[in-house]
Structure 1
Amino acid sequence: VERTKLIEKFSPTLLIAISAGGFLPTRILRNIIKSEIGGKSLPIQTIGLCLYESEKHEIYKTQWISTDKKNDSLAVSLNGQNILIVDEVDETRTTLSYAVNELRKDIEKQKLLSEENNEEWIEPKLGVFVVHNKTIAKRANLPEDLMNNFYFVGENVSGEWIVYPWDALDIHEHTRFAENSNKTNQLTVPSNGNN
């Protein structure tokens, strides 16, 4: 996090985990950020997206945060927030692009409602944090302003398949694999291209 200058450049006020890969990175990131900002509250919300591996690479929502302030008293206010979307890996950028575009629509709806109600509106900022960015051709894009200013990466990697500890069915076996792989400086296997 220090290497990415995340807190200096963005200072998130709301974390959004993309399930399921973003769950653990978001929780860990929250602890790090909270320690840097003096233990202030930092809420986490979750969105669920499923990518159909068809020719169209269609995405559908399995879970989404409520942003309907007009009809839902528990809706999340995006007004003035620095919203950081978190996922474990940016491979094709398809799900990240979809998440950003859908959140921008939600922001626009809340902005219009605020204007209707003569409420002050502070434009929210959107950012993205990924543990790993695969330096391969992407199928989708993120807005240029986000990419230039608020796209944060733990590490850039090539196209190998990444084996995360939280994906292991047997953590002891994974640890042995990691220890042996570290001796040869590898903790990845070739990508199957499905993410």
Structure 2
Amino acid sequence: MAQDVIALLDSLSITQAHVLGHSMGGKVAISLARLAPQRVVTLTIGDIAPVVYEHGHDDVFAALKRVREGRPKNRREADELLAEHVDSRSTRLFLATNLARTEEGELGLRIGLDEIQRGYDDIMDLPAGEAPYEGPTLVLRGAQSHYVTDDMLPALREMMPQARVVTLKNAGHWLHAEQPEAFQQAVEAFLEHHER
């Protein structure tokens, strides 16, 4: 996936970018920064650490599969299907961003759910690359999340030595959906500090 991002930057003639990723996207962003650090002006990571994680998204996979099977006609129906597996409304709202209207007028997934599941072991593994990313890095974590715990900080700082870790109150793993204003303010302040 990091190689895909590099290919996209190349095709758009973007030599450098501010890179932000959450969860799996955060691991992709870390991989990109380690594989092509000259392409990354700043790195912002949302609630993920550069560690090997245990499996733990069965509820999300089940919810998205249920939506795919249920073929909802509107967002209310989609939310009801998601709610069969995911209790958190903010998480369901975030998952619903993966829905798009099909030619048949139903809501379907616009992500490769089967591909994500097949690549799940790789996703849960360490980010790609050998050297640490030495550039400016912001790591935002949710106070109620277990994805970036204090005991993971040494591994995080080893891979991203310049990382500044900010904890968002009243937020779990889906911190950008649960605390969007705080998330946006933290990102904007970081980017303004590192503008070139």
Q: Same fold (TM over 0.5)?
A: no
Normalized per residue, the structure richer in strand is 1
Normalising to structure 1: TM-score of the pair?
0.27
Higher relative contact order (CA 8 A, sep 6+): 2
Normalising to structure 2: TM-score of the pair?
0.27
